[in-house]
Amino acid sequence: MGFGYNKAMIEPHVPVLYAEILAHLDPQPGSLYIDATLGAGGHTAGLLEAGALVLGLDADADTLAVARERLARFDRQATFVHANFAAVAEVAPAHGFAAVDGVLFDLGLSSLDVDEAGRGFSFRREGPLDMRFDRSQGPTAADLVNTLTADALADILYEYGEEPRARAIARRIVERRPLQTTTELASVIEAVTPRKKGKGGIHPATRTFQALRVAVNDELSALEKGLGAAIGLLKPGGVLAVISFHSLEDRLVKQMFKRESTGCICPPRQPVCTCDHRAVLELVTRKPVVPGAAEVVRNPRSRSARLRVALKL
């Protein structure tokens, strides 16, 4: 199968909520930032242009190479590391970023990956069922769909994709496997979940693809670990900004921000505090910031973005 792959030919990723991110992070010459999800370096370019120093991480070595090339003119200010942000507590201090002015998480995948059939993220393009951000390790989506039991698959589709037809889809996948490509999987799902007539609604494979991607990359545990570590790396007054693209991520961010901006977290009926929990964050955005209509028209990928910002106390 010839799945063409050439990142240079692809339109660069358009950074989401760019003005809002720069306004919240407020980069100054010499200040230190961690971009935990460097991607094509769109947000980081703004930080570097303001004179800040940036440590950019990405789990995807190919995307990191694109950013490195695009940002080559800032080589004195930028450090690029191929790493999962789950490891930021160890990676950042090793590169001199132990106490920073801001950390940005712009979650999910960059449009470089969505647009590239060979990565297997899109049900619209025929490609191998891969879906790993980091192709140097871990199981692929094909490994999951071709080896898990129907029950285990259904749990993934339900838990990570909120797919109401999880059991039926999982049963059909098990009947039809082995499945090797994105379009094979999409047509198995379509056969169980016929597309609604007319405009609107999502493609029947959307939730299953999201669920498999979340499972393949262990995205929610990485996020929980990465956010916790980022809070520890911020200086007092430092800014934590997180853009999420689906409700599971946003819920996790919201709950973590709530817990870490609260003092005692003992059950409300407990008369004496035994938790010793202290607030370490102050919420800046009570409700998530979403892109305006003009941004959604310009960049439809931004339509599900939700930005939450907090300050380190």
Q: 43 near 106, Cβ under 8 Å? A: yes
Q: How far is the CB of 41 from ligand SAM (least distance, A)?
A: 5
User: Which one of 24, 31, 32, 43 is in contact with ligand SAM (CB under 6 A)?
Assistant: 43
Q: How many CB atoms within 10 Å of residue 201?
A: 10
Q: How far is the CB of 250 from ligand SAM (least distance, A)?
A: 14
Written as one letter, the residue type at 3 is: F
Number of helices (H), then strands (E), belonging to the chain: the values are 13, 7
> Which of positions 222-251 make contact with ligand SAM (CB under 6 A)?
222
CB closer to ligand SAM, 160 vs 166: 160
8-state DSSP, 18: H
Interface with ligand SAM includes 15 (CB under 6 A)? yes
CB closer to ligand SAM, 83 vs 154: 83
CB closer to ligand SAM, 36 vs 173: 36
CB closer to ligand SAM, 189 vs 227: 227
Residue with tokens 């980081």: 44
Q: How far is the CB of 263 from ligand SAM (least distance, A)?
A: 30
Q: How far is the CB of 19 from ligand SAM (least distance, A)?
A: 13
Rounded Cα gap, residues 313 and 216, in angstroms: 35
Using the rule CB under 6 A, give the single segment among 82-90, 116-124, 136-144, 264-272 that binds ligand SAM.
82-90
User: Which one of 17, 20, 39, 163 is in contact with ligand SAM (CB under 6 A)?
Assistant: 39
Q: Give the interface size with ligand SAM as a residue count (CB under 6 A).
A: 22
Selection from 260, 145, 262, 269 nearest residue 212 by Cα? 145
8-state DSSP, 14: P
Q: How far is the CB of 84 from ligand SAM (least distance, A)?
A: 4
Using the rule CB under 6 A, give the single segment among 33-41, 160-168, 181-189, 277-285 that binds ligand SAM.
33-41
Using the rule CB under 6 A, give the single segment among 104-112, 119-127, 176-184, 302-310 that binds ligand SAM.
104-112
Selection from 33, 37, 80 nearest residue 59 by Cα? 37
Q: 56 near 81, Cβ under 8 Å? A: yes
Q: 183 near 123, Cβ under 8 Å? A: yes
Rounded Cα gap, residues 17 and 305, in angstroms: 8
Using the rule CB under 6 A, give the single segment among 83-91, 160-168, 175-183, 248-256 that binds ligand SAM.
83-91
Residues 280-285: contacts with CB under 8 Å, at least 24 apart? 280/231, 280/312, 280/313, 281/231, 281/240, 281/257, 281/310, 281/311, 281/312, 281/313, 282/310, 282/311, 282/313, 283/257, 283/309, 283/310, 284/24, 284/239, 284/309, 284/310, 284/311, 285/309, 285/310
Using the rule CB under 6 A, give the single segment among 38-46, 91-99, 162-170, 184-192 that binds ligand SAM.
38-46
> Which of positions 108-167 make contact with ligand SAM (CB under 6 A)?
108-110, 133
Binding mask 52-71 for ligand SAM (x = CB under 6 A): -----xxxx--x--------
Rounded to 10 degrees, the C-alpha dihedral 188/190/194/198 comes to -170
CB closer to ligand SAM, 128 vs 138: 138
* Residues at the interface with ligand SAM (CB under 6 A): 13, 15, 37, 39-43, 57-60, 63, 84-86, 106, 108-110, 133, 222
